[in-house]
Structure 1
Amino acid sequence: MGLDHLDDLYRQVIMTHAAHPHHYGECEDPSVRMTRYNPSCGDVIYLSLVLSTDHKIKAIAFKGEGCAISKASASMMTDLVMNQPIVKARQLIQSFSKMLMGEKSEVGDLKDAQLLAGVQQFPARIKCAKLPWQALEDALAEQGGS
């Protein structure tokens, strides 16, 4: 598979998630809400989560204004963490952060989100891709779930 084909796949997946984001909206009666803003580009993510008593992410949704990378990243993230134990969600956040920084991570767990590794070529866009994941990390920390 040539690099041009990978670039096309990257763009196609990003644009599909951005144009038709999964879990877009707001959770009914959320356990926690989190807003994160990227001052360097103006992206904003509003995240809502419903956490179950057995420490799982029962529901997750986001709204926001921003670039295609930010929306696509949020869409991919919500797909990955829905119905997952909080511990697993935290592992995915770590893997994603390491991947964006070019460090070794368990990218196999990240599914479509591993395509966002391509933003490493554009350092200013790393913050866009990371914004929803930071919102999730902060929401879980605020809630104190394990």
Structure 2
Amino acid sequence: MKFDKNDSMFLRQIIMQHYSEPQHKHLTKKPTALSIHQNSESCIDDLHLELIVTDQKIMTACFDGVACAISTASTDIMAQELEGKTIDEGLKIIDNYLAMIFDKPYDETKLNELIAFINTAKQPNRIKCATIGVNGFQTLLLDLLTIK
């Protein structure tokens, strides 16, 4: 599916859909789940993230907690993008997304709905919101690489 990065209403709809009806907002609480707690000192964002990885493949990516629209939507969309990917593929998705967020070269064709956050670099006060959950998923995946 092609996403129009120039249609601000469409981008806003993506964010609001994932905020109001997040598909990955739940925790498995399985003993095999890798988990991390991410919270912000400067706002309400307080998230618990989980990944279930089997044979180097991300089987489940989910989260729960309280967060603003940007944090909730970016975490939900990233969870959606990570599921079914290998650890390395997941890290590449995250790296590409973070490059966009920090206004560095990135491949927009690989972002899918994450393109909704394309203007975040122009709103520095929203960068933490758009990365708090993503940074947690990245930490969990990087930890897995050091374990193998």
Q: Distance in 2 between matches of 1:134 and 1:101?
A: 13
Query: Which structure 1 residue ranges, 5 or more long, are not aligned?
Result: none
Q: Distance in 2 between matches of 1:69 and 1:46?
A: 16
Pick which of 21-30 and 9-18 moved more: 21-30
Q: Map 1:88-103 to 2 at 5 A.
A: 88-103=89-104
Q: Distance in 2 between matches of 1:83 and 1:116?
A: 22
User: How far does the alpha carbon of each residue in 1:5-29 deviate from its partner, in whole angstroms, 9 at most, with x for none?
Assistant: 7111121111111000011101241
Partner residue, 2:46: 44
TM-score of the aligned structures, taking structure 1 as reference length: 0.90
Q: Distance in 1 between matches of 2:58 and 2:118?
A: 25
SS at match of 2:119: helix
Q: Map 1:102-141 to 2 at 5 A.
A: 102-141=103-142
Does the CA contact (< 8 Å) of 2:12 and 2:116 recur in 1? Answer: no
Query: Which structure 2 residue ranges, 5 or more long, are not aligned?
Result: none
Does the CA contact (< 8 Å) of 1:27 and 1:49 recur in 2? Answer: no
Question: How far is 1:141 from its partner?
Answer: 2.4
RMSD: 1.7
Misfit runs of 4+, over 4 Å: none
